[in-house]
Amino acid sequence: MPTSAPGTSTKLQALPGRRCGGFSLLELLVVATIIAIFAGVAVLSLGSLGSDRELQREATRLQSLIGVLAEEAVLESRDYGLLFSETGYRFYIYDYLTLTWLEPIGDQLLVERTLDEPLQLSLELDDREVRLAQDFDAMDTNEQPEPQVILFGTGEVTPFEVGFFRDFNGGRFVLSTEFDGTTSVTSDGFEPI
């Protein structure tokens, strides 16, 4: 047996009734479970209090669609319309032969977009809030659709602000569009983007 000094041993010896060092598997599992619970709570609270990526993604998606349609409207000398509800939006194309707004058929870019609950929209035109239908099913289907926003073939756009928000947290992302077609997305109640 090796010794470090005369008469002392370098091996650890257990006292009767006590075990030697380390943790049992059960103790490690309990600690790992507690850490996982705290991490889960932190992630959930961060998602509800921090910047809402889903709202931001929806706002930038609409911004991109408007940019593409504004260019397409000028190239094709065609007017596009945008109709909002509290839970989504849909696009229309103006038909000069029938003088009506028509839904684009077979155009994957212009399909109706319904937001996942609990996401909602608000719309302002000329600094006044527009009362939106709860969803498109609640609208009168006998009447011809009248889009609230028009992207003209001349490159001009109806100035508007659309807010993307949830009821339970006060933050929102706002997409603003100017008369010349320039758009911007800002956050209100979230970290700056």
The span from the CA of 62 to the CA of 183, in Å, is 10
Give me the pLDDT at residue 25, please.
Answer: 79
Q: Which helix (H) or strand (E) holds 76?
A: helix 53-76
- The answer to pTM > 0.75 is no
Contact in structure between 40 and 146 (CB atoms under 8 Å) = no
Mean pLDDT by runs of 10 across the 193 residues of the chain is 58 59 77 80 56 86 94 93 94 94 89 89 93 79 83 94 82 92 86 54
Q: Parse the chain into domains and list their residue ranges.
A: 53-188
Q: How many CB atoms lie within 10 A of CB 22?
A: 7
Q: Per the CATH hierarchy, to which homologous superfamily does domain 53-188 belong?
A: minor pseudopilin epsh domain (3.55.40.10)
Give me the pLDDT at residue 15, please.
Answer: 57
Give me the pLDDT at residue 128, please.
Answer: 93
Compute CA distances 39 → 25, 42, 121, whole Å: 21, 5, 32
